[in-house]
Structure 1
Amino acid sequence: MSQEKTGKVSGDSPEKKPGQVERLMKKWGIPLAIAVFLFLLLMPTPEGLELAAQRSLAVFTAALILWVTTPIPIYLTSMLAILLLPLIGAVKDQKDAFGMLGNDVIWLMVSAFVLTSAIVKSQLGRRFALWMITKFGKTPKMTLFTLIVINFVLAFFVPSTTARATLMVPICLILLEVYKAIPGESNLGRVMMLQGLQADALATSGVMTATAGNIIAVGFINSQAGGNIGYMQWLLASMPTAIITMIIVFFLGLKIFSIKDEFNFEKAIGTLEEELRKLGSFSLAEKKAMVIFLLTVVLWATGDYHKHWVGYEISTEQTAVLAALLCLLPKLGLLTWKEANIKWDLMIFAAGAYAVGGALDKSKGAEWLITQLVNGLGLQNMSHFWVYVIVVFISMYSHLIFTSKTVRVTILIPAFITLAKTLGMNPVALALASAMTMTYTITLPPHSKVNTLYFGTGYFSVLDQVKYAVVTCFVGAVIISLAIFTWFKIIGIA
């Protein structure tokens, strides 16, 4: 009974008092970040690495340590990184650092929070969440599974990872509100948000048109490797691996973040059904929110056809800002500016993350790191079996260095095609397997816009994300590696 009143659960008690590992991370995070920063900054510049790249690498690594260990708030780490980049000469123009707050992703995030606030205020989100729970979410596992299925279905119709996250996060927030889940304490909240960002990434891996990076990779494979990969070939090759990986990590997530004792669902269903009945018929506010929501979905889903239909394309960011504008318009809209729950600390965090990642990419520091890794492993002297496996694992974990899927695809896919040709391997199979890992940008919040949106809900920590993502990426790499030698042969790719 006390759990119902407080919303707290016995399984979450360790989170209230940091464990020994977390205390040590917080204690040594700053000294470690300073030591690594100074070492990378002052060491002799390695051959092939520009001085600006070395300085960018120093800032990037120090910020990464602080984001993971969290001895200070993550937005303060971002502010520090933004200050350091031009100060130590990691970027030539300070606009490359300070200008990130005007990045299109920041506008997208602001608009997403406005849209979320409108859906919450209108009760539309609550109605939809209650309907989902009473129909499909009789248990925590069924609720989580339903959300994953929705993510995979949306991948076919909404060709933007961030757009899909913008649609799903409000639904998750309302579901967790109904379940009385407390941010930072609820394991249900943790696993729901973490599986949400992972389902977004894995579903994207399965559909060629789900992100621009996949399409760019296909272009390289067909033009440089002599492949003939199209929509169905990609779907046949990648979707089974994405589904198998998601099923495995779904159950692993339930083991990592136990939710079995968190709620008494049997007693709650009757109450939830009564709350749904109390909402009555759709209100005017709900109808407005639904029109805005559906318009947003349609514009995102048809992004590839705008130019053909009307002569110009409405981008994902423009659509999001349009939705926010409609929500905020006097009389016609649903919100005032004060009612829009915009998390500006998250905006600053995101700006710093993209500034650091952009500096590392622009200075060629990321490219240098990958080159050193490939050469250091001596792939030229290994059997083809191990080359396939190692390339898949390198591709999978390369998002720890790169913050852009497009950059990873542009650098890695041509490099691996060349490697395959040199070693007498099938370049199509090697490049396709590598490309299938490119959407697994799930380890840290800065690694993708989707991560940032889910992380902004406050339901999980950086350490929670790292812990789950390391497992998921490993499982994904193993499944894709196995597919090269089994499934690829069946469908005629290898």
Structure 2
Amino acid sequence: MSKTSRNWIIVLGLELIVWICPTPEGLTPMAWHLFAIFIATIAGFILQPISMGAVAFLALTFCAVTGVLKTGEALMGFGNGTIWLIVCAFFLSRGFIKTGFGKRIAFVIIKYIGRSSLSLGYSIALSELVISPAMPSATARGGGVFYPIVQSLSNAFGSSPGPTAGKIGKYLMQVGYHTDAVTCMMFLTSMAGNPLCVGLAESTLGVEVTWMGWAVAAIVPGLISLFLVPLVMLKLSPPELKAMPDAHNLAVKELENMGPMTLQEKVLAFVFVLCLILWATGSWTKLGATPVAMLAVSIMLVFKVLDWKDILSEKGAWDAMFWMGGLVALATALAKSGFIAWIAKIIGTAIAAANLGWIASFIAITLIYTYSHYCFASVTTRISAMYAAFIAVAAACGVPGLLVALAFGFFANCPISLTHYGNGCGPVYFGAGYVSQSEWWRNGFVICTINVVIWLTIGMAWWKVIGLY
């Protein structure tokens, strides 16, 4: 039996087993069947008997044909704003490559910071830390701002997807993604779903969380996590290029060879700065991250930084749209079906009945809340589906209200690292093609678990010092 045939049997067998099992009490048959399709889709993503985009398309087709979802519901993921932000991020990156502007930025960074792969990793982490409080879209920040720079840095050292991926590109891509996840935890305004946590905490527990209160509680464990990401990735995916003694001279020479900026580079530089400003001021301008990204692509098309052939040939964008859009549709429908609320109720009842004491209950609920993110393709969706229910359960177990409100806000973002669909910039970094899915998931689990340990030990100690409990 071939590997492909075996993987098909596993995926379809898993779906069939769940599908034919009796529907548990408290769920509708539609919700249970949708769960069977979702589980099979995730298994298909892991085993890949065919490409991920094709797996997602088959899953949506099956939903529509069997009536589990209406056609409009099955296709709603492709109209999701985050999906189009991801697609636009790919196009922005294409502009960086085509004009050479990304290469220029990369060599400037190498000129001043490029002493080693680790120093480049820390330059990404520090840049994320500085920009994240002012940019609430993690997808825009990671996919639209940092990914093109990370890709350009990789290319500058001759590291491309395939045989040369391990030179440094594989390392930098993962550092970029995981530092984005950490900074999402650190500030109320660094991720779009964080203010939702604040609103739900106030309506559910009557607890008020301020910007400064969030930042103070997150700063110690956050800085430790951010410091460790480049170091841990150096062990998990060690780059072949570690020390770069000639990097400075190389960068100077390459910048001289490139000469002054071209008109297209200047246009792209303007677009890049415009995006930064509009993304950072979105709370005042009321412009969402996706319209800003669409505006950027439109300007590039008008000024011929990109032409329509470039758009059509950007296969990574369209592939990401298919598999991510399909997954978003399934995950959203699963949450709306009542399946997530049903699971949360079962977990809450079991933990409350165990009478573990508030600290043990808090840790148990936090771990379930964190690792359940394998079932979600959006942090905001998971917050909407689970945050209020889980903080209510934790508070009922005796966990102090302000502690649980903040901690579950932090741990809403921590598991972004777990998968390549953990948040909106995941498909962008993963779609670059430097890292296999198995390595991505392995490294993501390690990074996420390290962060969980840091925030539940050092974080808990810090929260005691500042009086959260």
Give the deviation of 1:70 after TM superposition: 2.1
**Which of 283, 286, 299 is the equivalent residue of 2:262?**
283
Give the SS at the match of 2:411: coil
Q: Is the 8 A contact 1:130 1:178 kept in 2?
A: yes
Amino acid at match of 1:336: D
Residue in structure 2 matching 1:326, options 283, 299, 314 = 299
Query: Does 2:170 correspond to 1:193?
Result: no
Distance change >3 Å, CA 53–CA 461, structure 1 → 2: same
Match of 1:12 in 2: none
8 Å contact 2:112–2:248 — kept in the other structure? no
Q: Distance in 2 between matches of 1:342 and 1:197?
A: 21
Does residue 180 in structure 1 map to residue 152 in structure 2?
no
Rounded Cα–Cα distance in structure 1 between residues aligned with 2:83 and 2:176: 21
8 Å contact from structure 1 (residues 400, 443) kept in 2: yes
Cα distance, 1:75–1:410 mapped onto 2, change above 3 Å:
closer
Q: What aligned pairs does 1:350-361 form with structure 2 within 5 A after superposition?
A: 350-361=324-335
User: Following TM superposition, by how much is the alpha carbon of 1:72 offset from its aligned partner in structure 2, in angstroms?
Assistant: 1.6
Q: Deviations over 1:255-309 (max 9, x none)?
A: 11122x3467224542232001112222212111111111111111100001xxx
* 1:86 Cα deviation after fit: 1.6
Partner of 1:370: 344
Distance in 1 of aligned mates of 2:238 and 2:462: 33
TM-score, normalization: structure 2?
0.93
Match of 2:305, SS?
coil
Structure 2 counterpart of 1:314, from 276, 287, 303: 287
Percent identity over the alignment is 27
8 A contact 1:158–1:164 mirrored in 2 = yes
Task: Indicate if the aligned counterparts of 2:351 and 2:361 stay in contact, CA closer than 8 A.
Answer: no
1:335 aligns with 2:315: no
- Cα pair distance change 1:183/1:27, threshold 3 Å: farther
Distance 2:291 2:222 in 1: 30
In 1, the alpha carbon distance for the partners of 2:347 and 2:170 equals: 33
Residue identity opposite 1:82 in structure 2: L
Counterpart Cα distance in 2 of 1:264 and 1:486: 37
Once the two structures are superposed, the pairs formed by residues 394-433 of structure 1 within 5 Å of their partners are 394-433=368-407
- Aligned mates of 2:201, 2:333 — CA distance in 1: 28
1:26 Cα shift?
5.8
Query: 1:131-160: CA deviations, max 9, x gaps?
Result: 001111221111111111111211112111
Which residue matches 1:298? 277
1:183–1:457 contact (8 Å) kept in structure 2: yes
> What residue number does 2:115 align with?
138
Q: Is the CA contact (8 Å cut-off) linking 2:84 and 2:321 kept in structure 1?
A: no
Q: Describe how 1:42-191 pairs up with structure 2 within 5 A.
A: 42-91=20-69, 93-165=70-142, 166-185=144-163, 186-187=165-166, 188-191=168-171
Worse overlay, 473-482 or 293-302: 473-482
Query: Aligned partners of 2:306 and 2:405: how far apart in 1?
Result: 48
- Between the aligned partners of 1:346 and 1:419, the Cα distance in structure 2 is 36
Deviation track 1:6-65 (CA, whole Å, cap 9, x = no partner) reads xxxxxxxxxxxxxxxxx9986643221111100111110001111111111111111111
| Structure 1 equivalent of residue 428 of structure 2 | 453
- The runs of at least 4 consecutive aligned structure 1 residues that moved more than 6 Å come to none
Which TM-score applies when normalising by structure 1?
0.88
Deviation at 1:225, TM superposition (A): 2.5
Q: Which residue of 1 aligns with 2:218?
A: 238
Q: Which residue of 2 aligns with 1:310?
A: none
* SS of aligned partner of 2:433: coil
Q: Distance in 2 between matches of 1:25 and 1:442?
A: 28
Residue by residue, what CA displacement relative to the aligned partner does 1:194-228 show, whole Å, maximum 9, x if unpaired?
Answer: 22111111101100011232111112323432333
SS in 2 for 1:209: coil
- Quick check: 343-352 or 73-82, which moved more? 343-352
Give the Cα–Cα distance (whole angstroms) in 1 for the partners of residues 256 and 353 of structure 2.
63
Partner residue of 2:202? 222
- The answer as to whether partners of 1:354 and 1:446 remain within 8 angstroms in 2 is no
For the Cα contact (< 8 Å) 1:110–1:342, is it kept in 2? Answer: no
Secondary structure at 1:212 match in 2? coil
Alpha-carbon offset, residue 107 of structure 1: 2.4
User: Cα gap change, 1:263/1:389 in structure 2, threshold over 3 Å: closer, same or farther?
Assistant: closer
* One-letter amino acid matched to 1:138: R
Q: Does structure 2 conserve the Cα–Cα contact (< 8 Å) formed by 1:379 and 1:387?
A: no
Amino acid at match of 2:295: L
Asked whether the equivalents of residues 135 and 191 of structure 2 are also in contact (C-alpha less than 8 Å), the reply is no
- Which structure 1 segments of 5+ residues have no match? 1-22, 307-312
CA gap 1:178/1:372 in 2 versus in 1, 3 angstroms:
same
- Specify the code of the residue in structure 1 equivalent to 2:429: Y
Aligned length: 462
- Cα distance in 1, alignment partners of residues 10 and 201 from structure 2: 42
1:479 aligns with 2:450: no
